[in-house]
Structure 1
Amino acid sequence: MMAKGEIRKDLSDRTPSSSARSLRIVSWNVRTLYEAGKCVQATREMQRYRLDMLGVSETHWIQSVQKKLRSGELVLFSGKEEGIQEEGVAIILSKRAQRTLRGWEAHGSRLLLASFSSSNRGININTLQLYAPTNAASDEEKEEFYDQLQRITEKLPRKDVNIIMGDANAKVGSDNISYEEVMGKQGLGVMNDNGERFADFCSLNDLVIGGTIFPHKDISPDGGTENQIDHICISRKFRRSLQDVRVFRGADIGSDHHLVIATFQLKLKRYSRNPTTKRLKFQVNLLQGNKITDFGITLKNRFQPLEHLDEDMETYWSQVKDSFISTCKEVLGEKDYKHKDWISQE
């Protein structure tokens, strides 16, 4: 099975004048990518739909490595170390997406994490590709999967854009009672056991299930209800940026699942690593006349004990810096910022 996502020039374009980025995330499901010609078909569909990232589930590949294709795409895949060729997840990157790749981590045959740079150096885009056990799997297998998924997710920085997508094998349905913050009423079918587990996971980690939010016309051939088990979830703090989630039925790679594309406008604010740290400012305008003499004498007295110190460079520099700061505080004093109204009562 397969799920795929697209990260377009919003990642590679780092021009400061462009603050809003267009981001498209794609989910798909295809079986047994190791079959002859399937990988070529997948890359052709990537080029056809101008996709930069394709996440794949149930690749049936073993081991966890990366390899470069002749067409230029980079494949990252994670599977079982040995034994039967089953399960497995992968991410295929275009040349443009490869330039924004920060790193990736293999987490067994069901989870693969890739991190990408954004236009803001303080915020990254983390994409977690998953292939969940089916609804018929044992409770032990499901619990083991969701425990591992939770351990990985809770390590992702909340400031980043965190995207979890793929074949969740979960029907969440249209009844969102108790899940109003993480899903809408546009889901298909009725929630099953996997759907409840998946919704609980999203609620715990502040994720929105994108496919349940936007209404679209039902164009299924027989007019019946189709299964909705491939999902794209985005951090809830970026919910307002989500523009649409739509199914595309034109892609063909021998699958009974359709292409799901989510589009949203991403505007990132500059992230401060130490927002509570206050920068010290001193009244340097007082350095004239007798103040200059007092400042020089006080600083010289503080430097004298340092002349014969036998310390490493870092320790010596720290003491020099402290000498300057303490002298400024004693002689000049800190500068107080006084707010001035831009317009007066008069």
Structure 2
Amino acid sequence: MGDLNGHVGVDRDGYNNVVGGFAIGNRNREGERLLDFCVLNNLAIMNTYFKHKDEHNDVKSIPSLSCDSDHRMVKGKINFIQPKSGKGPVRKRFTTEKLINPEVALQLAQKVEENYTEPETRDIKVEWNKFRDGIKKAYEDVLQPKTTGRRKKKNTPWWNEVKEWVRRKNKAFRIWMKTRRPQDRQEYVSRRNETEIIKRNSKKTAG
């Protein structure tokens, strides 16, 4: 592919499956095009998935080897351990995003009040455990916990609402990559922005 001079930046919004947690800097236009290319072809920018050190003793350039360009051959050693799929720690979390709904927030407050009991002993540990268990029970009743940390195929009904928008965005992208005309790029950017808005709104509605 050559040197694209693309900087993808630290912002992962909309590109969580493409950019890892160790990207740096700000995004430029070439980086934006690179991200779109990766999304279209189901690729990831792997050097953003690893923490970079100030010194890399196992990487060096070879200036004596001519590449017939202003670039230099780089020699390096990488130890890559493939993560085991589905073996991560399994955790449960409460769906606190539902609290944005005032009715759900009121229901939770009522449950907490119902589960609260006046202290019956002078034992702080006993009373604290009772208070903690009452809060937890209220959250379990109102904000049903869900399992996180294990990879699994998710059922996302909101996708049916946005897949047509994604199809239009990808079509506009392919046209622009073929023609390279400014008006086609503007059409693609417009489609991309519309799709992101529709996607966010659909997720909020589904949540």
TM-score of the two chains, using structure 2 as the length reference: 0.30
Larger strand share, 1 or 2: 1
Largest Rg, 1 or 2: 1
